[in-house]
Chains A and B, each alone.
Chain A
Amino acid sequence: MSEIEVRETVRKLVAETLGLAVERATPEAKLMIELGAESIDLLDLRFRLERSFGFGISNEDLARTFGDGVTEEAFRAALTVEALGSYVVMRLEAAVHA
């Protein structure tokens, strides 16, 4: 899967999880602030990402990527569709090099 395809899949999964038209999941859209995601949605999304891409995502992992040492508010602001896509791309690359 190319990087573009990966990012597109992430967009699709975000939209699917939140019950939105895929057009609303723009790269810069903030999941929690703009798209209305709640904690249970993030959990659901995490499982969908795991199933789609075949790697496990731990809480520690997410915290390291998006919110290590930052406030809840900063985490919510940092969690965009694009950032999530980058995280998945990074994980897939790490798996290739492992």
Chain B
Amino acid sequence: MIALVTGGSGAVGSAICGALAGRGAHVVVGYLRGAEAAERVAAELRAAGRDAAALGFDVADPAACDRAVRAVVERHGALHAVVNAAGCTADGLLNDLQPEAVQKVLSVNVAGALNVVRAALPHLMACGRGRVVNVSSVLGSRGTQGTSAYASSKGALDALTRALAVELGPRRITVNAVAAGFVNGGMGRTPVARMGAALRRLVPAGRPGTPAEVGAVVAFLASEDADYVSGAVVPVDGGMLACAVARAGGARDE
């Protein structure tokens, strides 16, 4: 399997690359700014005996996505799976948010995913069992203050996941998402630190997740084993989305 992972240089993205390689995939590590990190991820995978390469391009630029997919297919001869892990955020209360920052979050997190899938579509169809996995968030379906831009982008990504699952299902392409909860790595590090001990009240598992735990579910959804799973937004959140009422704080939390 040949897989393209956008945002592959980040903490969660690189864990996804590792998990895909663990299932035997050749991985193209997409990045925008993290060239060094992406090269490092690719080098580690190669050291583990996988064909891997880093590829820099901006998912918000449709022409760049076309070129990137062409480069992947020229190198590997096919493209079976796309993982949209590229993402950015603009946190802040509504009146502090700059319109440009909101636009950028939507351009990368939502339009970026569409751009990459559109560019990859003929190849995903050609391989006979294409896979798209979007890295979403619990904030796609639950609200919290100061995250309106990011949350709307992830809600849109969830909707995109379902719409494309329906549209591409007859082409034997599955489209799924993972809804990551508090993950201790990359973008999640700050929220995890901010929550501190209170995280235990919101997350039944009582701890933040790891990038590898997100990667494992993404790699499963990208695998042949998940051929009958499509349109799903799978929580990888320690049970957070299942929780109706946060647990009361106790002495342990303080």
List the interface of chain A (C-beta within 8 A of B): 17, 19, 40, 43-44, 47, 50-51
The complex places the Cα of A47 from the Cα of B121 at a distance, in Å, of 12
Whether A44 and B128, one on each chain, are in contact in the complex, defined by CB atoms closer than 8 angstroms, is no
Please give the distance in Å from A89's CB to the nearest CB on chain B: 23
Q: Hey, which chain A residues are within 8 Å of B121, CB to CB?
A: 40
Q: Is the CB of A47 within 8 A of B128?
A: yes
CA distance A51 to B127 in the complex (A): 9
Interface of B (DSSP majority class): helix
Partner of A51, one of B122, B128, B170, B171: B128
A19 near B126 with CB under 8 A, answer: no
Chain A residues closer than 8 Å to B125, beta-carbon distance:
43-44, 47
Residues of chain A lying within 8 A (CB to CB) of residue B171: 40, 44
Can you list, as one digit per residue, whether each of B125-138 has a CB less than 8 Å from chain A (1) or not (0)? 11010000000000
Number of B interface residues in the complex (CB < 8 A):
7
Look across to chain A and name the residue whose beta carbon is closest to the beta carbon of B170: A19
Measured in the bound complex, the distance between the Cα atoms of B172 and A44 in whole Å is 10
Interface residues of B in 170-192 (CB under 8 A from A): 170-171
Chain A to chain B: the 3 pairs with minimum beta-carbon distance, closest first: A47-B126, A44-B171, A44-B125
A90 to B121, CA, bound (A): 29
Query: Contact between B170 and A43 (Cβ–Cβ < 8 Å)?
Result: no
Per-residue CB contact flags for chain B residues 182-209 toward chain A (1 = under 8 Å, else 0) read: 0000000000000000000000000000
Chain B residue with Cβ nearest A46: B126
Contact flags B109-135 to A (C-beta < 8 A → 1, else 0): 000000000000110011010000000
A79 to B121, CA, bound (A): 23
Q: CA–CA, A50 to B180, complex, Å?
A: 39
Q: For B126, list chain A residues within 8 Å (CB).
A: 47, 50
Q: Which B residues touch A44, using CB under 8 A?
A: 125, 170-171
C-alpha spacing A40/B118, complex, angstroms: 12
- Given A40-B171, A47-B126, A51-B128, 9 extra CB contacts under 8 A: A19-B170, A40-B121, A43-B125, A44-B125, A44-B170, A44-B171, A47-B125, A47-B128, A50-B126
Q: How far is the CB of B52 from chain A (nearest CB, A)?
A: 26
Contacts of A17 in B (CB 8 A): 170
A51 contact set on B, CB distance < 8 A: 128
Alpha-carbon distance between A19 and B126 when the two chains are bound, in angstroms: 18
A51–B128 Cα distance when bound, in Å, is 9
Report the Cα distance A17→B122, complex, angstroms: 14
Which residues of B are found within 8 Å of A47, using beta-carbon distances? Answer: 125-126, 128
Q: Per-position contact with A for B24-66: 1 when CB-CB < 8 Å, else 0?
A: 0000000000000000000000000000000000000000000
A19 CB contacts on chain B under 8 angstroms: 170
Question: Would you call B122 and A43 a contact (CB within 8 A)?
Answer: yes
Would you give 14 A-B contacts (Cβ < 8 Å), ordered by A? A17-B170, A19-B170, A40-B121, A40-B171, A43-B122, A43-B125, A44-B125, A44-B170, A44-B171, A47-B125, A47-B126, A47-B128, A50-B126, A51-B128
Which residue of the partner chain B has the closest CB to A17? Answer: B170
Nearest B residue to A51 via CB reads B128
